[in-house]
Amino acid sequence: MRVAAPVVAAVPSDLAPFLDPVEGVEVEVYDPRDRDRVPGGGRDVDVLSLPMVAGPWLRRMDEVPGLRGVVLASAGFEHALPYLPDGVEMANAVEVHDTATAEMALALMLASQRHLPKHVLSQAAETWDRSTPEGQPWRSLADSTVLVLGYGGIGKALTRRLLAAECEVVAVASRDREGDELVDRVHGTDRLPELLPTADVLAVCVPLTDATTGLVDAQVLAALPDDALVVNVARGGVVDTAALMAECASGRLRAALDVTDPEPLPDGHPLWSTPGVLVVPHVGGASPASFPRMGRYLHRQLTAYRDRGRLDHVVATGGAHA
């Protein structure tokens, strides 16, 4: 049912330039760094859009009057659940960060397979050194088998890039199903024991839920072949950090991580110095490509709310989390 009165949406100033007008929706632009002026400027707000870096209003959503819906600018949403007011629906950012995150996953794979961290250190030392680290073999991403764990938007975006890089992709999701234009079959996680030994690279792309917390544990890691690479662009809690460090410290596995557990990774944490591990500070979605995509997604969400009085892709409701 179309909402009769004009919908009021509070939109952060970093996203407002990328949002086209929506008929029947009045946009109140707010400065997400301003801790004193409530989004909406005191008006009742139907939909609150949070910025790319959530800022103080993530924790103060209950101060926004009249709030009925929240649109996150992140695919992950677990960090927002404790602050969601009762009865308020929350949608995460669907397809917004797929491009940027898949790009980061591919970059981490290429950097690790082609020994780029070692060459960066050689450049800093102004040393022309063509050797591999500690006598490791030359590697390539081409002709590798990559097991993509999590075949949602990010997993599909990554698969497109991996196929272009001449990889064989094995897609795995929560349940077994028919394939699509990219893969012949999407395998269920129950088949991991037989699929993991075939993987040169394990790319972790699943959301963090009760079912996926600790999914990549010591048993999963042990099933990977020697010299396999674990790439995590999901959430740190999906991977057992202690088990991963043990495998990498032994030299059996390698890892390239955009996310960690704990996060932020504290200074002096042993993961920083574990051999064979590349860590970047959760910047997979930090790309200018995400802003126009978020603008288009927010436009669709405001249109849906105007037409039906509800957001699409609701992942939780305050007081009754999905």
The set of catalytic residues is: 235, 263, 282
Beta strands in the chain (DSSP E): 7-12, 25-30, 47-49, 69-71, 89-91, 145-149, 168-173, 177-178, 185-188, 201-204, 229-232, 254-257, 277-279, 314-317
Residue 158, phi-psi category: left (phi > 0), alpha (psi -120 to 50), beta (remainder)? alpha
Check if the beta carbon of residue 9 is closer than 8 Å to that of residue 28. Answer: yes
Antiparallel, parallel or unpaired: β 47-49 and 25-30: unpaired
∠ CA 240-215-280 to the nearest 5 degrees?
50
Separation CA 83–CA 73 (nearest Å)? 15
Q: At what angle do helices 98-113 and 153-164 cross, to 10 degrees?
A: 50
Antiparallel, parallel or unpaired: β 177-178 and 277-279: unpaired
Neighbouring CB atoms inside 10 A of 98's CB total: 24
